[in-house]
Every structure is written in structure tokens, then in C-alpha cells.
């Protein structure tokens, strides 16, 4: 019975302690600064996406060149007649 009452007490007292916390502004209050932050964030993610696309293109080109080189090597193998 004591366990049940202590659990109920914790459940009812937890929201009261949550409201006592001080709110902290993560973004600046002015609209201009906030828009600059969002713009920089968008440019950052755009750059990340472009880098991923470039890496994929370079890997595909490398695979293609490896296939071409392997075909050329197969054609130059001397045949035993």
C-alpha cells in the first residue's frame, strides 16, 4: 500500500516541478537573426546533400572504369592454342 501511495504521489508531483523550470530561448528574439539561422541551416543541409550526390557519382564512375579495365585485361590474355 505504501508503494502505491508513493507512486501516486510522484505522479501528481512531477507536473508541478516541470512548470517551475525556467524557459530558455534557443533562438534569438529578433526575426532577422532567426531567419539568418534558418538560412544557414538550409544551406548546410543542401551542401551535405550535394556532397552525397557527388560521392555517389564518383563511385559509379570508378565502378564503370573498373569494368572497362577488366574487359580490356580479359581481351589481352594470351590464349593457348
Kindly state whether residue 8 falls inside one of the protein's structural domains. no
Is 55 a member of any domain? yes
Residue 7 covered by a domain = no
How far is 40 from 52, CA to CA, in rounded Å?
Answer: 19
Q: What is the pLDDT at residue 39? A: 93
Q: What is the mean pLDDT of the chain?
A: 80
The answer to the question of residue 36 being in a domain is yes
HEC string of 27-79? CCCCHHHHHHHHHHHHHHHHHHHHHHHHHHHHHHHHHHHHHHHHHHHHHCCCC
Q: 42 is in which domain, residue-wise?
A: 28-74
Q: What pLDDT is attached to residue 41?
A: 94
pLDDT band at 24 (very low <50, low <70, confident <90, very high): confident
pLDDT of residue 57: 97
C-alpha cell of 67? 569494368
45 lies in some domain: yes
Q: How far apart are CA 68 and CA 60, in angstroms?
A: 12
Q: Note whether 28 and 37 are within 8 A (CB).
A: yes
Report how many domains make up the chain.
1
Quick check: 46 pLDDT over 90? yes
Amino acid at each position: 500500500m505504501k508503494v502505491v501511495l508513493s507512486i501516486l504521489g510522484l505522479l501528481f508531483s512531477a507536473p508541478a516541478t516541470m512548470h517551475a523550470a525556467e524557459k530558455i530561448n534557443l533562438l534569438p528574439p529578433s526575426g532577422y537573426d532567426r531567419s539568418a539561422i534558418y538560412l544557414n541551416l538550409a544551406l548546410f543541409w543542401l551542401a551535405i546533400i550535394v556532397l552525397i550526390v557527388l560521392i555517389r557519382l564518383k563511385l559509379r564512375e570508378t565502378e564503370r572504369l573498373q569494368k572497362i579495365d577488366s574487359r580490356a585485361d580479359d581481351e589481352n590474355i594470351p590464349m593457348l592454342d
